Structure 1
Amino acid sequence: MELDDLVLRARGLVGRSARTVLGITGPPGAGKSTLADALVERLDGLAAVVPMDGFHLARAELERLGRAHRKGAPDTFDAPGYVALLRRLRAPEEGRTVYAPAFDRALEEPIAGSLPVGADVPLVVTEGNYLLLDDGPWAPVRGLLDEVWFLDPDPALRVRRLVERHVRFGKERSRAERWVETSDEANARLVARGRHRADLVIDPGPVG
């Protein structure tokens, strides 16, 4: 599916209610943030991006919990916090800006209050791995999204992109390859379980 077609589909979601929330999900390295950013740029002020990754637990907390070695797994996020933000975003209050957290890949840390979403923005695009996970604290997420797209690229291409991304942000190549094999791919298998719950399945090709 071409980017132009996806932009038209996203534009068609605008106006269904005061605020529509589109979810973009898929395994690590599928191209979720790339597509979300491209959509928002093409929609020219009608949309804002709110990534799930802003709800990563801080490294100090992951270390305290003994989870730093598997950062990116479902229990290394503040899922209830993400759900609470989605509920706020679905019910915009006139004149009130909602501030969402972002994730700084260079620092490998979430940054609070980074992304302003004005009450007059009709479409929020949220992207992340676990939008279709139906376990525990993630279960409410699907019901807070008006539509969900699942990105399903060629697995070999996706793994190569993941390794290159980790290298680009400071990991040695051998460590990046081990991390992808042991952590990212375990998460990818978990994410794949929710594929059938998506409204649209996309091979992102060049937009990923």
Structure 2
Amino acid sequence: MDLKLDEAGRLSPFRNFSRSEWAGLRADTPQPLQPDEIQRLQGLNDRLSIHEIEDIYLPLSRLLSMYVGSAQKLFRAMQKFLGPEENGKMPYIIGVGGSVAVGKSTTSRVLQALLGRWPNTPKVALVTTDGFLLPNAVLEREGLMGRKGFPESYDLPALLLFLHDIKAGRRPVRGPVYSHFDYDVMPNASVEVDQPDILIVEGLNVLQTGRPPKDGKAIPFVSDFFDFKIYIDADEAILERWYVERFMRLRDSAFRDPKAYFHRYSSLSDEEADATARSIWRSINLVNLRENILPTRQRADLILRKGGDHEVEAVSLRKL
């Protein structure tokens, strides 16, 4: 038997592409985004260029459009086979996972903008799992404030119910909203998702699963509701640098507002701010990355591998 090996000589379920190889898969996909729109889509510390859109995201949007189109055809065929159900539409759900500061939000916003231009997916919604974090009062009571972003800091039943209702085609479905300014869930705010063609779910641990139960009984995980899973990857040293850079920019902007949760950091010197950011990264975010996030990378259908300049250097696509 001819076994397929990766570059390190190991068995791999992925097909690997260099940046140039992946860019060639764009074919004749048009570039619909204007420069000002690209500027709005990029995150605080990301660098999103027209070349990144053309080389990475246009081929990806073309691929996802084909996946969604195939899923829509299968759904219609199953309706004929089983008979129409009460809800005649099943949204396609894409999960986007990866470390803090890796650029998940930017990738998710770009995909939302591009996929909404395809004729078979005009309605694309985006939610972040930050809204499903337990309120600070609960985290403090449970001694979990230092593990915010770890799996145990989320209201998992609420998130699972939200995704279940989306997948069942219910409308509308409402979810909680998180404020990074307040560093807490907003008690009187909600986001409404009304039967989209595609839902993009972005979060740290969205690709995580657990050990199968010994009795064989079903235990759903967030990733069970995903039709396509994307992991954004980068070396630990690069992620730490990006986190520190973002912290420094926030110190000089959002943190300066006296009402901001992290206002106390605005008066730090450059040296103090750098040391504080690295301490937070190494004691919290790096631990979460190693224990919970990085182990989910191989569960992805597509891995975007970033270099130090925020550009994707390589792409790995799971083989069918």
Q: TM-score, normalised by structure 2?
A: 0.59
What's the counterpart of residue 187 of structure 1?
Answer: 288
Matching residue of 1:114: 190
Match of 2:157 among 65, 80, 105: 80
Any gaps of 5 or more consecutive residues in structure 2? 1-21, 23-55, 73-89, 117-121, 212-218, 256-261, 266-272, 313-320
Query: How much has 1:139 moved relative to structure 2?
Result: 5.5
Shift of 1:132: 2.1
Residue number in structure 1 paired with 2:9 = none
Q: Deviations over 1:58-84 (max 9, x none)?
A: 111111111112211111111121111
2:134 maps to 57
Q: Is 1:178 matched with 2:254?
A: no
Q: Distance in 2 between matches of 1:4 and 1:158?
A: 25
**5+ residue gaps, structure 1:** none
Distance in 1 separating the partners of 2:285 and 2:277: 10
Would you say how many aligned residue pairs link Structure 1 and Structure 2?
A: 204
Q: Which residue of 1 aligns with 2:206?
A: 131
Cα RMSD of the aligned pairs, angstroms, is 2.2
Matched to 1:202, the amino acid is: L
Match of residue 159 from structure 1: 240
**Aligned mates of 2:147, 2:299 — CA distance in 1:** 26
From 25, 33, 44, the counterpart of 2:105:
33
Verify: 1:10 aligned to 2:85, yes or no.
no
Q: Residue 94 of structure 2 contacts residue 198 of structure 2 at CA under 8 Å; is this kept in 1?
A: yes
Does residue 46 of the first structure (1) align with residue 123 of the second (2)? Answer: yes
Give, as a single letter, the amino acid of the residue that structure 2 aligns with 1:81: A
Residues 156 and 139 (structure 1), Cα distance of their counterparts in 2 relative to 1, 3 Å cut? farther
Shift of 1:207: 6.2
1:66-106 CA-partner distances (Å, limit 9, x unpaired) = 1112211111111121111111111113xx22122232111
Give the counterpart letter for 1:199 in structure 2. Answer: D
Q: Which has the larger radius of gyration?
A: 2
- Secondary structure at 1:14's aligned position in 2? helix
Identity percentage over the alignment?
A: 27
Equivalents in 2 of 1:164, 1:139: separation in Å?
37
Higher relative contact order (CA 8 A, sep 6+): 1
Query: What letter is aligned with 1:114?
Result: S
